[in-house]
Amino acid sequence: MDFKDWRTPSEKIAIDKDAPPSTKYRGKRYYDYVDEQIRMAEERGDFHNLRGAGKPLELDSNPYVGEKSMGYGLLKSNGFAPAEIELGNEIRRELERAEAKLAKLRHQSRTLRSRRIPPFASERQAFNLAVKKAAAEYESTLHELNSKILTLNLIAPAPLHQPMLAVDKLVQDFRASCPLFD
């Protein structure tokens, strides 16, 4: 059996300088081959009109979500959030809505008390009724929110826990900030 040295070519291959570069990996470093492929694709125009061209990359990956990352990604791309986040947002919105109603009554109280002409009996009566009704609604809203906060604290991780609302103290503070007319 004759020994043939495969490392040395048996015949010289003529290299044509005008021929397109070979797509075979021969004697090049790997990254040179990749750079050549990218350059050829750029020359052909394969990178023109790519989706998201000129926009920053969205690198919103969270390494702490673990096996739920795909589900969270689907929720986020469709405009939703995990249940605990949605519940927290709902609690915050309802509390803000309740506080906005109370702020209107406080403003009305300041307006009525700062007028040059004292409020008429019908205005005082309507205002007192509105304050009593608002206080009752505020109290029931706070109890509902405490129930939602308890649910949130059971399903959410510890950093998302919210403190329970002190219903009696908040209602008393509202009544003190918006006193009834005699």
pLDDT in tens, 25-37: 566 677 788 888 8
Q: Give the domain ranges of the chain.
A: 83-177
Interval 46-81: pLDDT, tens = 888 888 788 887 766 777 777 888 888 888 888 888
Nearest to 121 by CA among 51, 37, 181: 181
- Angle between helix 83-114 and helix 121-155 axes, rounded to 10 deg: 160
For residues 98 and 141, is the Cβ–Cβ distance under 8 A? yes
Please report, rounded to a whole number, the percentage of residues in the chain having pLDDT higher than 70: 83
Better-predicted residue by pLDDT, 53 or 39: 39
pLDDT over threshold 80, residue 15? no
Better-predicted residue by pLDDT, 30 or 82: 82
- Say what the pLDDT of residue 29 is: 75
Which segment of 75-79, 96-100, 146-150, 154-158 scores lowest on mean pLDDT? Answer: 75-79
For residues 135 and 154, is the Cβ–Cβ distance under 8 A? no
119: Cβ–Cβ under 8 A, 6 or more apart, which residues? 112, 127, 181
Q: What is the pTM of this model?
A: 0.61
